Structure 1
Amino acid sequence: MDERWLQKQVRNCLRHYGYDDEMMPLGKDEWRDLCAHIAAAKEKHRDADMYELVHDAVYRFITSA
């Protein structure tokens, strides 16, 4: 999975929820964790839409942060 593409999707999703890079800067560990979570979810649910997986992961990240 292309990590740059995935990070772009996560950034777009964060903007959807009203956040930007300055409001909620993510460290390398947080990026790695989010990308790993999304990749694992895709492996588990191969037919799932990436858009939904990204939104689910970002929502969980925001609500637990």
Structure 2
Amino acid sequence: MEKKLVIKMVKNCFKQYYSEVDSLPISSNDLEALAERIIQIKAEQPTVELYEAVNDTVYEFLTG
């Protein structure tokens, strides 16, 4: 799976939550970790849609 695509999707998901903020409230290390987690979820559960894995992972990051 293309890691750049996952990172772009994560950034877009954050923009939905923080639409009025110029920069995202996440470090590059956290962004990399989220991308790795999403790729791992997709590998473990191939039937899960990518957008669903991204949205769920970002939501968990923000709330937990």
Runs of 5+ consecutive residues of structure 2 not aligned to the other structure: none
TM-score normalized by the length of structure 1: 0.82
Q: Indicate whether 1:47 and 2:33 are aligned.
A: no
Q: How far does the alpha carbon of each residue in 1:17-61 deviate from its partner, in whole angstroms, 9 at most, with x for none?
A: 22556151x323212210111011101110110000000000011
Runs of 4+ in 1 over 4 A off after TM superposition: none
Runs of 5+ consecutive residues of structure 1 not aligned to the other structure: none
CA distance in 1, matches of 2:22, 2:60: 18
The total of aligned residue pairs comes to 63
Q: CA RMSD in A?
A: 1.6
CA distance in 1, matches of 2:15, 2:2: 20
The one-letter amino acid of 1:13's match is C
TM-score normalized by the length of structure 2: 0.83
- Which residue number in structure 2 is paired with residue 2 of structure 1? 2
CA distance in 1, matches of 2:27, 2:44: 26
